[in-house]
Structure 1
Amino acid sequence: MIAHIWKVGRRSLAIALLWGLLCVCLWHPPGWAQSTPPLLPEESAGYPVILQDQTLFRIEEGVASFPASFRAQTISERIEAFAKRSELEPEQLRIVENDRAQTVDIRWSTQVIATITQADADAADTTQQALAQDYLQVIQAAVVSYRRSYNPQVIALGALLTLGLTIALILSIVLINRFVVLSKGRLRLWQGDRIRGMRVFGVELIPADRVADFLFELIKLARLGLLLLLLGLYINLTLSFFPWTKGLSQQIFSYFQQAILDLWQSLLSYLPNLFFIGLIIAITGYTLRLVKFTFAEIRRGNITIPGFYPEWARPTYNILRFAILAFAATVAFPYLPGAETPAFQGISIFLGVLFSLGSSGAVANFVAGIILTYSRAFVVGDRVKISDSTGDVIEKTLLVTRINTPKNVIVTIPNAMVLGSHIINYSNSLRNEKTPPLVLHTTITLGYDVPWQQVHAVLVEAAKATQHILEEPAPFVLQTSLDDFYVSYELNAYTNTAALMPRIYSEMHQHVQDGCNAVGIEILSPHYAAMRDANQLTVPPDYIPKDYTAPGFRLFSLNQLFSPSQVNDNGQPPAPEASSAEDT
């Protein structure tokens, strides 16, 4: 491990030396290349005279009908034309006094490069000769620098420096990425030892692995910033090596420098607001931790408040947390950067309107969730029936309720729909001692010939033989209706295991079927036709008279049935001799 770190350290040192050498070559060229002398200080007034994107000096006054801008442009064009003629030496430029025009000229042979008037000298607070001498030195140095930049040796050196800079950039990127990978492994090894979780009041708020992940994200953010810095430095240096892009390099550097200065000044001016926002964040954070700790203890039962149920702790904490965060955001809003600008205020209004229009359903679910929470209609773990869905409540939030059906199907129901539907809670007796146990009931229909006492006994025994059915209160049977052909018997049994209702019902039905079969009761609903001749009475045997015999069929001829002369006073055919059922 030490060898690996030493190897990485050597690479880092080599890359740092390479970057340093390139920077030295940029700001301190080799001895054979003359350095550019300092230019005249730029003033805020006037128009610049430019050569190769460098401002040499500024013209503030016009001459006759020629404005200062025209003079500056003309001088710039003349200096560039002179610099491009490599056969001309900068020493051939000289200062000539023009007594007729009362000006001092900078000439090459008879060609005027620049004219200095008394107004120019007054604007610079000097004499015409002194100002002309300064302009001459600046122009000569600029011409030398211009010609040197187009020298093939300088261009070749720029190409070599670009190659070295590219290699240094690639090696730097590789080294930075390897360092990030190595730091991730180090953080995992230090987790729990050097990197520990954040604890408040003995409660771990942020575990060690989350702290390690946060540090790794900071390292990745630092890598991004470093890569952007190296890329910007690479582009700026590469462009500065060649005369065609040197001006662009200076512009980019000036933009970057100005952005850094503006950012630094803005940061300095924003420090008081930043301190106040940090104070708000710190107070809000500690307040939330205290509130969370309090409600966690209430949920665990360590803190008891009369009339406040433990299941209310989590939703109440969520509501209070939202209120605290909303209050903190309201207080900190005026101190945000750009909070007073019309653009920021317009965006805030737009987002508020957009949220109001698009969150009507969410607000309805949120309000319904609060009502359901504090009405205690159900809690997590209850077996409920909401509309057409039956199952166990596995999650209850302020927006939705999720239930798990007996078939292990997760059903998500918006709280607004839950509040608008009827809710059947099968598990309420488990939470409320004053509520009687849940009653399971099932109905069978049997004929009138089966004694009801026997049916009651069989059904009660079947219920008692079923698991999860309570012995006290005892099961009971209700005769719910006396229909045309059968009697409806409803078996009722108590249980405190609502989650096993399908299995209890199945086992109860099995015992009912076995009990009826054991005593010879057929589980069916008989139906009878209107003809009752030769049929046994459908009443229990105990209620049939001892001398009762089933009547036989009565037979009539068609002539007797339809002849009007052969009817008795009651409008019926005369009764024939009764024949027994056996004779029939």
Structure 2
Amino acid sequence: MMAAALIVLTVLLALPLFAAGQTAAPAITQAPPQGAPVVFEGQTLFVLYDRIGAFTPEERARSVAERLAKLANDPFTGVHHVTAADREVTSELLYGDTVLMTVTDRDAAPTGLSRTEAANAYAGVAEAALARSREEVTFKALTIDALLALLDTAIFVTLLIVFHKLFPKLQSKIEGWRGTVIRPIKLQRVEVLSSHQIAGALVGLTKAVHVAAVLLLVYAYMTTVLGILPWTRGISASLFDAVFSTLRAIGAAFATYVPDVVAIAVIVVVTRYIIKLIALIFTGIERGAISFAGFHRDWAEPTYKIVRFLVIVFAAIACFPYIPGSKSEGFRGISVFLGLLISLGSAAAIGNIVAGVVLTYMRPFRVGDRVKIADTVGDVTEKTLLVTRIRTIKNVDITIPNGMVLGSHIINFSSAAHEHGLILHTSVTIGYDAPWQTVHELLIAAARATTHILRTPEPFVYQTSLDDFYVTYELNAYTDQPNLMAAIYAELHQHIQDRFNEAGVEIMSPHYTQVRDGNRTTIPDQYLPKGYQAPAFRILPLGNPPPRRADPAE
């Protein structure tokens, strides 16, 4: 009992749902039958709908059109009327004893006529079409068609001759207008387009118009001359339909994509003004009118370029769905293929771009700084996201990828030069016989006599080592012109030589050896007293060395 009650309850609950399903079910409508038109000499005579045996409506329509064309083009076929004959379940269209076609009830049903009425109507249409076709192949009609074809050919040849003479004259006329009628286009003092470039563009445009005019003329001649003769009117109609169907398809596609083009234009305009606003902000930061804590002014330009690039990328992503054909499988496949090629071929470039961004915000150097990157020393002339360009003291421009710059040690001679001064240092080795106080004074005097060496802080000297035969002195001097390091060092070394030679102190090379008794001093002649002669070599008895006499050159 309990099971029966559950079954009844289930059925009662399901009845409203079944009723709703029955009510909501849409009415099934029968689609109209698809027919095949019988086309004879470019005109549709009637439409067949029924399938007879193994023949489809399309095959039946094609056979009827072939029979009509054979009767119309056969000069030995007699002239008969097209009649309709009823059979048991069909009606036949007869041309004499030849059966043109069979009409069934299903062929006549869509027309709203009975099978007999439809067959009689089809017979009248077929007879009129055959009569019209015969009239077009009479001697008189063919003679008129031939004359029209000759006239069409004469017009075609005449226009070809006119085009052949007109366009070269126009091109030579444009060539003669250079510098006179055609003047260069200038933007203030900058010549954007010269007269030769404008004339060349106009000549190229004239040639393109010439070719287009000839092609259009050939197309017009082919369609008209083939449309005159009855045997080629089908070809003419095909040519005409091929071009105009293409134009209609292009027009329809254009009309379909007009909203998408408008959307792309709106995105482009909005993006343009957003970039202008961003440029205005970063220009203010670069000039100092706008400032943010922790954001340096020299970051303004590279940051603007990065932000502009990102805005353009986002705009391109927004425009992508509106690009004509973007949703097609071919477009997507090409996009994936190009993306794969770019990702595989631009690994090094992407690495350099990332390194360029890192270097921008690390601020290891600026344009104009004297730097040393790896083994390259010179002034930074340009910084981009991909490369850094350095000009050496020999005026050699060296381009270094940013990835290599980031992976190398960087020495910046200019970063603290203007605030604290750059210390230039050079070393000399002097024998132990020269007092160190004298050496210090001579080195500092040489530094003070050098151009671009700062007076304050003052130069100073370190004695860096006490070797077996000499003492190493290191001169340190400040300068605020790091870009002139090579010239300052050269002048400093000259002054060191002059000061030591003037004081009679020899700068002895560690590898320089001499017998001091009887040999000439290493000091240049212009610093020696007049009449200086190298001392003679002296031999003294053993065990009784005389006291050492001072050398006037020392």
Cα 1:381–1:81, aligned 2, differ >3 Å: closer, same or farther?
same
**Larger mean Cα displacement after TM superposition, 306-315 or 262-271:** 262-271
3-state SS of 1:429 partner? coil
1:234 equivalent in alignment to 2:217: yes
Cα deviations across residues 454-498 of structure 1 (Å, max 9, x unaligned)?
222222222222222112222222221111111112122211111
**Larger mean Cα displacement after TM superposition, 176-185 or 257-266:** 176-185
Provide the rounded CA distance (Å) in 1 between the counterparts of 2:179 and 2:269: 29
TM-superposed CA distance for 1:77, in Å, is 4.0
Aligned to 2:492: 508
Counterpart pick for 1:156 among 150, 175, 199: 150
Aligned to 1:437: 421
TM-superposed CA distance for 1:292, in Å, is 1.0
Cα 1:134–1:344, aligned 2, differ >3 Å: closer, same or farther?
same
Provide the rounded CA distance (Å) in 1 between the counterparts of 2:69 and 2:319: 57
How many residue pairs get aligned? The number is 483
Cα 1:403–1:521, aligned 2, differ >3 Å: closer, same or farther?
same
The answer (yes or no) to whether the contact 2:46–2:122 under 8 Å persists in 1 is no
Cα 1:393–1:111, aligned 2, differ >3 Å: closer, same or farther?
farther
The 5 Å alignment of 1:24-35 reads none
Q: TM-score, normalised by structure 1?
A: 0.69
The answer (yes or no) to whether the contact 1:121–1:131 under 8 Å persists in 2 is no
The answer (yes or no) to whether the contact 2:184–2:192 under 8 Å persists in 1 is no
Cα 1:266–1:425, aligned 2, differ >3 Å: closer, same or farther?
same
Aligned to 1:132: 123
The 5 Å alignment of 1:384-463 reads 384-430=371-417, 433=419, 436-463=420-447
Provide the rounded CA distance (Å) in 2 between the counterparts of 1:165 and 1:528: 100
Aligned to 2:100: 114
Provide the rounded CA distance (Å) in 2 between the counterparts of 1:44 and 1:180: 60
Counterpart pick for 2:465 among 463, 481, 486: 481
Cα 1:64–1:272, aligned 2, differ >3 Å: closer, same or farther?
closer
Aligned to 2:480: 496
TM-superposed CA distance for 1:61, in Å, is 4.7
The 5 Å alignment of 1:120-199 reads 124-125=111-112, 127=117, 128-145=119-136, 152-167=146-161, 170=164
Aligned to 1:519: 503
RMSD: 4.6
Counterpart pick for 1:264 among 245, 248, 251: 251
Provide the rounded CA distance (Å) in 1 between the counterparts of 2:395 and 2:133: 85
Paired AA for residue 511 in structure 1? H
Provide the rounded CA distance (Å) in 2 between the counterparts of 1:493 and 1:532: 36
Counterpart pick for 1:578 among 525, 543, 548: 543
Paired AA for residue 161 in structure 1? I
**Larger mean Cα displacement after TM superposition, 514-523 or 316-325:** 514-523
3-state SS of 1:392 partner? strand
The answer for unaligned runs of 5 or more in structure 2 is 1-32, 520-536, 548-554
The 5 Å alignment of 1:43-82 reads 45-51=35-41, 59-61=48-50, 68-82=57-71
Cα deviations across residues 351-406 of structure 1 (Å, max 9, x unaligned)?
44443333332232222212211121101111100001111111111221111111
1:325 equivalent in alignment to 2:304: no
Identity of aligned residues (%): 37
Cα 1:522–1:297, aligned 2, differ >3 Å: closer, same or farther?
same
1:338 equivalent in alignment to 2:341: no
The answer (yes or no) to whether the contact 2:185–2:192 under 8 Å persists in 1 is no
Aligned to 1:29: none
Provide the rounded CA distance (Å) in 2 between the counterparts of 1:379 and 1:228: 57
1:273 equivalent in alignment to 2:263: no
TM-superposed CA distance for 1:230, in Å, is 4.2
Q: TM-score, normalised by structure 2?
A: 0.72
Paired AA for residue 487 in structure 1? V
Cα 1:146–1:497, aligned 2, differ >3 Å: closer, same or farther?
farther
